[in-house]
A and B are shown apart, each in its own frame.
Chain A
Amino acid sequence: MNSEQNLITIKNISVDFSFQENFLSKKQKIQAVKNVSLNIKKGSFVGLVGESGSGKTTLGRAILAANKISSGKVIFHDGDKDYDLTNISKQELKEYRKKAQLIFQDPYSALSPRMTVRDIIAEPLEVMKITNTREETDKRVREIASKCRLNLEHLRRYPHAFSGGQRQRISIARALVSNPKFIVADESVAALDVSIQADILNLLKSLRKELNLTYLFISHDLSVVAHVCDVVAVMYLGHIVEIAPSRELFKNPRHSYTKALLSSIPSIDPEKQSNAIELKGEIPSAMNPPSGCVFRTRCPNPTHDCKEGNIEMGLIEVNPGHWVDQCCVNCK
């Protein structure tokens, strides 16, 4: 595995949404993702964590070219061909779609209830014209379904026959059928019971080894991310505030937000009393983010400069592979 090479290079991208209450009022801009840079190495399992309003889902979908990128560059390196997502032709987009896929959060709404499981999994093959005959399609469907541990007898059933965990496996099979290199898993285990969660996570891990996949795993659940991901990026209000290998992040968090987040995770040990760092106030509105460091309004110990909004945001590498937003680096 050529782990030194980037699969996806994300440089300073922003994703804006314009919002208009009715066609007579003024157009407002919401910056869901602001100035984000991230390198996703080939074969890695990158975790993207954040709370509500962090922009993690928007970022994930922007990488899949499902949201329009307002500025910056996203480049997908596929062997000798590079796809620049901000400047992509229709033909190239079609090819990109085969290589990058998405697994949804809600297994109940992600599968069309009126199609058989076989048709659901086969749909990408048929739409992207990957297979030509029905026999080829069926063969490929069966192949991927058995990799996802789906009972082949069940292929002619409809989604309503399956439990949440099984439906998620169908979602995974659908994402993998076009033989992609990159998968975005958007809160893919959030809606599942704990005992099933572990099963799906194990499946994702084994498929990564077997099929040489690269994952971007979006979640709000830090403990899950800690277990499966190699690298974790923490987002707050559209910015990435810290990136580190997962062990390093959990042992040695540097950003105040990361520290607060980690301290809030309830421990399974009843003896260990929680000493959650309390964050004052509420998450600011995305329409009107604070100037300078967006976290300054809730930081437990901001310096004078932080509070004034004088410090611009930007990631600095404090240790090899460990990047922290410079506002918190300067605090120390």
Chain B
Amino acid sequence: MTDLLNIHNLKVEFDTDEGRILAVDNVILKLQEGQILGLVGESGSGKSVTAKSIMQLNAENAVYGDNSKIVLEGQDVLKFKENQDLKVIRGGKVSMIFQEPMASFAPAITIGDQMVELLLLHKKISKEKAKSISIDMLDRVGIADADKRFKQYAFELSGGMRQRAMIAMALSTMPKLLLADEPTTALDVTIQAQVIDLIKDIVNEYKMGVIFITHDLSVIAQTVDYVAVMYLGTIVESGSVREIISNPKHPYTQGLIEALPDLNNLDKPLKPIPGDIPSPLERPTGCVFHTRCKLFESGVCDNAVPPLSEYAKEHTVACFKVNNNEQ
């Protein structure tokens, strides 16, 4: 099975007044059809930048590395220029849904009009056909009275419904890849559960690939098949979600899991990760996590960047200490 998406050595820097800031470094990811890949990380981890690179949606001052390649169905989309090629990708082969659904919909145009506009941009169909596809999609995502909602404006819908409408809009063009950037963070927890179920159903039905970005490890555990843990722009650990969560090897992943409140063990004290996330202007040399790591070894960890090496089946870790001791 050929990969749907294959990201090689992605490096993204931003040209700012303060100089060149490295946002994403040496990211390697693979995704097949029908799979959900989770990108989990805290603020500054670069997960949004990575996803946006697929559609070249980053700000204009983004500079991609020379060796970076993003291969989508055989084509290197990073080489595409602002013309027909990128237009086909954006909204067509790849769709994105965002954290704040209110920001995705234009406030003065009805939802229906926006969905139809999107469809007409990507498919050569009649307006009536576009309308019926859109209403079907709204119904499919669980919005009751879809034809009534089709004519409404974004502010007339509640938060959960808006998020569903955004998913409907993103899926109406039948993309091969769906990028979901913190889609449930702004939602109430009862709605969150429904949206997660919806995304899993969609993936099963349409066999698309999904990259699911969030900072919430529990949501990752319930939603994705594979997960990549990111810290300050690099992947520190990746693999199948069962393997990573039950047997985390990188100190950062372990720290993240231990910092979570566990509902089954209310007496367990909460363990934070000591220190603070360094600002991207002060990127630590060598392994970016070494300033907060309990396994830090001077001369080793601050000297070179640990490569992502295979620890077990479907489990790669970027840590000198892990791969040295336990292989």
Contact = CB atoms under 8 A, between A and B. Distances in A.
A264 B191 CA distance: 8
B270 interface: yes
Interface of A: 51-52, 163-166, 193-199, 201-202, 220-224, 226-227, 246-247, 250, 260-261, 263-271, 273-274, 276, 278-279, 282-283
23 contacts: A165-B276, A193-B215, A197-B259, A197-B272, A198-B259, A198-B270, A198-B272, A199-B272, A201-B270, A202-B272, A223-B260, A223-B263, A226-B263, A227-B262, A246-B266, A266-B216, A266-B223, A267-B263, A270-B222, A270-B242, A274-B193, A276-B197, A283-B158
A194 B222 contact: no
Contacts of A263: 193
A56 to B, nearest CB: 12
Given A195-B42, A264-B192, A264-B193, A269 B245 contact: yes
Contacts of A227: 261-262, 266, 270
Contacts of B293: none
B244 to A, nearest CB: 9
A222 B189 contact: yes
Contact of B266 (A163, A202, A247, A273): A247
Main secondary structure of the interface of B (DSSP, over half): helix
Contacts of B188: 51-52, 220
B261 A266 contact: no
Contacts of B159: 52
A193 B47 CA distance: 14
Nearest to B242: A270
A266 B193 contact: yes
Considering residues B43, B190, B215, B276, which has the most beta carbons from chain A within 10 angstroms of its beta carbon?
B190
B266 A196 contact: no
Interface string B260-275: 1111001001111100
Contact of A279 (B42, B190, B273): B190
B255 interface: yes
Given A198-B271, A201-B270, A266-B222, A261 B190 contact: yes
Contacts of A265: 189, 218, 263
B259 A194 contact: yes
A197 B217 CA distance: 14
Contact of B276 (A166, A269, A282): A166
